[in-house]
Amino acid sequence: MTPVLIKQATILDKNSSFHNQTVDIKIENGIITEIAKEIATPENATVVEKENLHVSQGWFDSSVSFGEPGYEDRETIANGLQVAAKSGFTTIALQPNSTPIIDNQSYIKFVLDKAKDQATTLFPIGALTKNSDGQDLAELFDMKNAGAIAFGDYNKAIQDANIQKIALQYVQDFDGLVISYSQDNSLKGKGVVNEGIASTRLGLKGIPTLSEELHIARNLFLLEYTGGKLHIPTISTQKAIQLIKEAKAKGLQVTCSVTVHHLVLNEEILSGFDSRYKVAPPLRDEATRKALLEAVIDGTIDCITSDHNPLDIEHKKLEFDMAKDGTIGLESAFGALATVLPLEIVIEKLTSAKTIFGLPQNKIEVNSTAELTFFSPKTEGTFTKENILSKSKNSAFLGQKTKGKAYGIFNNGKLVI
């Protein structure tokens, strides 16, 4: 394996003794072998030199959809992992919303096999219920043994409280993590956007924040009753923040994430009825966007996800009511986040979530496994179609200002730059 020499990179890693230092880093056989102010270039080495080069622990995205198996026209696992690598992500958690749904060990093995020999590591999330229909628990223990790191039905909330309760009890036998999307379907009804002044003005049916909050409150009550570990993905309301903060204060093992688009965009962008902005949960008002940013900064929200969800034009470029929910987000994640949050917070929220899912954090030290993300924090620009690397083009960030750019990664002994 060719040695890699990273020249004059500023390390951003609070767990490293080299934090905030600008150094050279030498990698041999996938291991960091030397970190110093200056390192002589080894024979045959691949040299990484970039303008304003910064390096951090590898970024992790806790919610990524690709489509394969079944929706290869939207995205394949191979191309999706290349997109993730070029976007700065060394690790992703793959949602089970393919067809068939990833709800047994053979499908877990299938996606892991498809992800072999890639720079970005894929960890599958197994469906919590068979076919993600909310009726019967899937083969959770078998999937855990096959490599699943958590269990959840993507963007589908468990309406049956007893199924939710049994799931939280059952996974404790093998230290499993339950992911619970939050939405009371009866309160959502036929809503397509956030209920409020904007929905009234646009004449679109609204989804009350109560549909998310009621479900979160119920699941936290169940967690208090059962014990275990619960992850609440993509929260989007002020009351949700408060409920989770109170649950953490009680000592419950609950974590949560927020999407990049809920931190950067608000419902005012819907005025053109562009279905690229139709997401689940829906974009909220400006006061809520600011509250979500505050909750990221104060630590109530544990991690940030792109919630990358490629959709083909036939399902996305439709009347707003008819279009599917979802946006791609890997390519735009870092550049968009850096416009609304301090750099150190962005890096922390893109790296620390590994511990929630029981994955190792490889700090930047000599003799550590090299799992690194390369980026520049200052390059300003605009996100355009040329920046989209995914097969699907449904980005809510087209035309948005960006700050900073990902250069690539080193992971699994592979350099993508």
Report the distance separating Cα 281 and Cα 237, nearest Å: 9
In this structure, the strands spanning 401-411 and 372-382 are antiparallel
Residue 299: partners with Cβ closer than 8 Å, 6 or more residues away: none
Query: For the stretch 217-256, what's the b/e string if a residue is b when 16 or more beta carbons lie within 10 angstroms of its beta carbon?
Result: bbbbebbeebebbbbbbbbbbbbbbebbbebbeeebebbb
What backbone torsions phi and psi does residue 205 show, to the nearest 5 degrees? -65, 135
Count other Cβ atoms within 10 Å, centred on residue 197. Answer: 12
Nearest by Cα to 121 from 148, 81, 87, 154: 81
Report the distance separating Cα 368 and Cα 32, nearest Å: 6
Q: Is 307 a catalytic residue?
A: yes
Report the distance separating Cα 246 and Cα 148, nearest Å: 29
Whether omega before 3 lies within 30 degrees of 0, making that bond cis, reads: no
What backbone torsions phi and psi does residue 53 show, to the nearest 5 degrees? -70, 125
DSSP annotation string for 243-298? HHHHHHHTT--EEEEEEHHHHH--GGGGGG--GGG--SSPP--HHHHHHHHHHHHT
209: helix, strand or coil: coil
- Can you name the residues that pair with 355 across neighbouring β-strands? none
CA distances to 158, 215, 332, 388 from 155, in Å: 10, 13, 21, 24
Report the distance separating Cα 23 and Cα 39, nearest Å: 9
Catalytic residue among 103, 184, 307, 325: 307
Helices (H), 312-416: 313-316, 333-337, 343-351
What backbone torsions phi and psi does residue 135 show, to the nearest 5 degrees? -100, -50
CA distances to 20, 61, 245 from 267, in Å: 37, 24, 25
DSSP annotation string for 309-337? ----HHHHSS-TTTSPP-BB-TTTHHHHH
- Active-site residue set: 307
